[in-house]
Amino acid sequence: MGQVHRHTDMNRRLGGSRTYISGGASGIGRACAERLAEAGSSVVIMDLPRSRDAAEETISLLRGRGHTAHSLDVDVTDPDQVSAAVAQATEAIGPPDVVITAAGVATAPGHDHTVSLMETKADHWRFVMDVNVSGTLNLIRETTLSMMDNSIPGSVVTLSSVAALNPTRGVYSVSKASVWMMTRVLARELAPCGIRVNSIAPGSIDTPMLPTTLGGENFESWTARQVGRIPLGRLGTASDVASAALFLASEDSSYITGSMIRPDGGLTMGSG
């Protein structure tokens, strides 16, 4: 990427760049913010107003380590809010070189994520698709327009899921498969502008959101059974996903676009 300056210290390989991250207050988004800030990127995290305390905690952590970091309240399902947030972020640190769309949900509030697609209520469908699909596109559209306006050959990293390859999670699987196809479509459309678009499809990642997706099942028993299915023999961490994000954000992946990286411990190595 034209705006990224490579350093002999590989921990600073994003020096001089600017990263925007949706859903950056906690979990995978926060881990990505930490990892890319450590690599030298200035960071803006965008999250819901109800996540403001967590966002400010993340920002304080990054600033305490000497990094440039800002947070903004934004609902990614609202195009006007996204447009305003990108304008604010640009004013704060400059136009983006890297965008990570980590904002996402497993289900709608008050709904069981294990419900079949045939039984999914309309409000449940709309909520999950609005956040995971429309929210992802809203941020990508605004940020890549900024990249093009500023002649920045940037990198966009979407967060899909191994659920995109496994039709067992109802509307969640549909939404993440949509993110994966969106990634491929945008990679083709934006390649002439030098903008790369790739996806990360995490497997079972040990984050605060994970226990809430088990439909009331005992977390310990679920974990033991799931670990038994994972060739590498452990759940993933947010840091595992952040490492993939750093690779896709940096020039180390400069000839990769329209691809999916699966930090899943080998869980889906037999999937297409």
pLDDT tens track for 111-160: 887 899 999 999 999 999 999 999 999 999 999 999 999 999 999 999 99
pLDDT over threshold 50, residue 4? no
**pLDDT band per the 50, 70, 90 thresholds, residue 220:** confident
Q: Helix, strand or coil for residue 46? A: strand
pLDDT surpassing 50 at residue 10: no
More confident residue, 183 or 220: 183
Average confidence (pLDDT) over 167-184: 95
Q: Kindly compute the dihedral angle of the four CA atoms of residues 39, 43, 47, 53, in this order, to the nearest 10 degrees.
A: 90
Which of 5-9, 69-73, 197-201 is predicted least confidently? Answer: 5-9
Name the domain count of the chain: 1
Residue 55: HSE in the Cβ half-sphere, 13 Å Cα cutoff? 21
CA angle centred on 49, ends 105 and 243, rounded to 5°: 50
Q: Which of 48, 51, 69, 172 is catalytic?
A: 172
Write down the pLDDT at residue 159: 98
Instruction: Provide the 8-state DSSP code for 236.
Output: B
Give a yes or no: residue 84 inside a domain: yes
Q: What confidence tens digit (pLDDT) does each residue in 221-266 have?
A: 878 888 999 999 999 999 999 999 999 999 999 999 999 999 999 9
Structural domain containing residue 130: 10-261
pLDDT above 70: residue 12: no
- Asked whether residue 16 is domain-assigned, the answer is yes
User: For residue 124, what is the domain's CATH number?
Assistant: 3.40.50.720
CB atoms under 10 Å from CB of 220, counted, come to 8
Query: Does 247 map to a domain?
Result: yes
In a domain, 121, yes or no: yes
| 64 inside domain | yes
255 is catalytic: no
Amino acid letter, residue 103: A
Is residue 3 predicted with pLDDT exceeding 60? Answer: no
Residue 243 belongs to some domain of the structure: yes
- DSSP-derived letter for residue 217 is -
Confidence band of 212 (pLDDT split at 50, 70, 90): low
Whether 143 is in a domain gets the answer yes
| Contact indicator for 165, 181 with CB cutoff of 8 Å | no
> What DSSP letter does each residue of the chain carry, written as one string?
-TT----SSGGGTTTT-EEEEETTTSHHHHHHHHHHHHTT-EEEEEE-GGGHHHHHHHHHHHHHTT--EEEEE--TT-HHHHHHHHHHHHHHH-S-SEEEE----SS-TTS-TTS-GGG--HHHHHHHHIIIIIHHHHHHHHHHHHHHHTT---EEEEE--GGGGSTTSHHHHHHHHHHHHHHHHHHHHHGGGT-EEEEE---SB-STTGGGGSTT--HHHHHHHHHHHSTTSS-B-HHHHHHHHHHHHSGGGTT--S-EE--STTTTTT--
pLDDT in tens, 53-63: 999 999 999 99
Quote the distance between the C-alpha of residue 41 and its chain's center: 16
Any domain includes 180: yes
- When pLDDT is cut at 50, 70 and 90, the band that residue 168 belongs to is confident
- 3-class state of residue 22 by DSSP: strand
* Lowest pLDDT segment from 5-14, 48-57, 244-253: 5-14
